[in-house]
Amino acid sequence: MVIFEEEAKIVRLVFDMFVVEMRSLNAIARHLNELKVPPGTRSNSRTGWSAGRVRIMLKNPKYCGIWSWGANHAVKYEGIPESF
């Protein structure tokens, strides 16, 4: 795993505002928008930060240092018999 320090600073700021300062998700999003922090390269929207985006970040286990190795999901495709 590679930690990008510039992005890690933002993650630490968000967690600090939420846990230590007990700010609301909306307040955190507002603050990030005031600082003109981009919401990320994977975002398909250019509207900036929202409470939902902050919630997704806070719920991401990777930002807490939890990494799942070998995790996969079974997907059932239509048209393929179960006994196949």
Which residue range(s) make up the domain with 35?
Answer: 5-64
The C-alpha atoms of residue 52 and residue 58 are separated, in whole angstroms, by: 10
In a domain, 46, yes or no: yes
pLDDT digits (tens, 9 = 90+) for 2-60: 778 888 899 999 999 999 999 999 999 999 999 999 987 665 556 899 999 999 999 98
**Residue 10 one-letter amino acid:** I
Domains contained in the chain, number: 1
pLDDT digits (tens, 9 = 90+) for 46-59: 689 999 999 999 99
In a domain, 17, yes or no: yes
If one compares 70 and 23, the residue with the highest pLDDT of the two is 23
Give the contacts of 35 (CB within 8 A, at least 6 positions apart).
none
